[in-house]
Chain A
Amino acid sequence: MISFDIVSYCSENYEDAYNFVINSWVNNSLCNSISIYTDTDIIKSNNPKVKIIKIFDKSSDWLIGTGRRIDAVKNFSVNNPKCPMFVFLDIDCYIVKPFTEVFQVMENFFDVAVTRMAGRNEMAHGTANAGVWMLKNNQAGFQFIDDWQKTAIRYKQEGKGIKPHKVSFAQFSFTKVATDGFDGRKPYKTLILSEKIYNNENQNDIKWIEEIKKYKSAIVHFKARRWRQPQLVQKVFNAIKEYQNI
Chain B
Amino acid sequence: MKKVLLSYCSGNYKDSFDFVIKSWVDNTSFDKIIIYTDTDELVYDDPRVEIIKFFEPNSSWIVGTGRRLEVIKDYIIDKNNKYSYLCFLDIDCYITRDFSEVFDSLKNCFDIGLTRLVSGNDHAKGTATAGVFFLKNNTESKKFITDWVSLAEKFKKNDTMLREHKISYVQYSFTQIAFDSFHNLTSYKILNLSEKVYNSERSDLDEWYDDIRRFKPKILHFKGNRYQNKKIVDTVFSISKDFEKKESKILFENNLVRSVIEPEFIIDKKTLEKTLKKSEFLKDVIITNLIKTEYSQILIKLEEMINNKFKQINLQENNISSDEILKKVEEMIDSKMLESNVQISNERTSSKIEGMNDTLKSQIAEVIDDILSEKNEFDNKKIFNRSSQIFLYQMFKEKFLREVFPSIQAQIIKKEKML
Contacts and interface: CB of A to CB of B under 8 A. Distances in A.
A206 interface: no
Contact residues of A: prevailing secondary structure: helix
Interface stretch (B162-170, B191-199, B328-336): B191-199
A104 B183 contact: no
A105 B185 CA distance: 18
Nearest to A184: B197
B258 interface: yes
Contacts of B109: 104-105, 108-109
A187 B254 contact: yes
A26 interface: no
B410 A75 contact: yes
Given A139-B258, A192-B118, A215 B197 contact: no
A185 B120 CA distance: 19
A138 B262 contact: yes
Nearest to A101: B109
Interface in B72-118: 104-105, 107-109, 117-118
B34 interface: no
Interface in A146-186: 146, 182-185
Contact of B215 (A109, A120, A183, A197): A183
A184 B197 CA distance: 7
Contacts of B120: 120, 126
Interface string A123-153: 0001000000000001110110010000000
Interface string A93-110: 000000000001100110
A1 interface: no
A108 B265 CA distance: 11
B117 A215 contact: no
A196 B126 contact: no
A109 B257 CA distance: 17
A52 interface: no
Contacts of B258: 139-140, 187
B183 A192 contact: no
A74 interface: yes
Given A118-B192, A138-B262, A192-B192, A185 B410 contact: no
Interface residues of A, number: 29
Interface in B250-275: 254, 257-258, 261-262, 264
A137 to B, nearest CB: 11
Contact of A187 (B107, B183, B184, B257): B257
Given A78-B407, A139-B258, A118 B182 contact: yes
A244 interface: no
A197 B182 CA distance: 10
B352 to A, nearest CB: 29
A24 interface: no
Contact of A109 (B104, B117, B254): B104
Q: Which of B104, B105, B183 has the most CB of A within 10 A?
A: B183
A117 interface: yes
Contacts of B57: none
Contact of B184 (A105, A109, A185, A215): A215
Contacts of B254: 187
A35 interface: no
Contacts of B407: 78, 142
A202 interface: no
Given A139-B261, A140-B258, A192-B192, A215 B215 contact: no
A109 B105 contact: yes
Nearest to B406: A146
B366 interface: no
Given A184-B215, A192-B192, A197 B105 contact: no
B261 A194 contact: no
Given A74-B410, A140-B258, A146-B406, A215 B185 contact: yes
B215 A185 contact: yes
Interface in A67-87: 74-75, 78
A140 B197 CA distance: 20
Nearest to B409: A78
B229 to A, nearest CB: 26
B411 interface: yes
B207 interface: no
Contact of A139 (B105, B192, B262): B262
Nearest to B181: A194
26 contacts: A75-B410, A78-B411, A109-B104, A109-B108, A109-B109, A118-B117, A120-B126, A138-B264, A139-B258, A140-B258, A142-B403, A143-B403, A146-B406, A182-B194, A183-B196, A183-B197, A184-B196, A184-B197, A185-B214, A185-B215, A187-B257, A192-B118, A192-B192, A196-B183, A196-B184, A197-B183
Given A138-B262, A183-B197, A215-B185, 9 more contacts: A105-B109, A117-B118, A120-B120, A140-B258, A182-B118, A183-B196, A194-B184, A196-B184, A197-B183
Interface of A: 74-75, 78, 104-105, 108-109, 117-118, 120, 126, 138-140, 142-143, 146, 182-185, 187, 192, 194, 196-197, 214-216
Question: Closest 10 CB pairs between A and B?
Answer: A118-B118, A105-B109, A139-B261, A183-B194, A183-B196, A192-B192, A108-B108, A194-B183, A196-B183, A78-B407
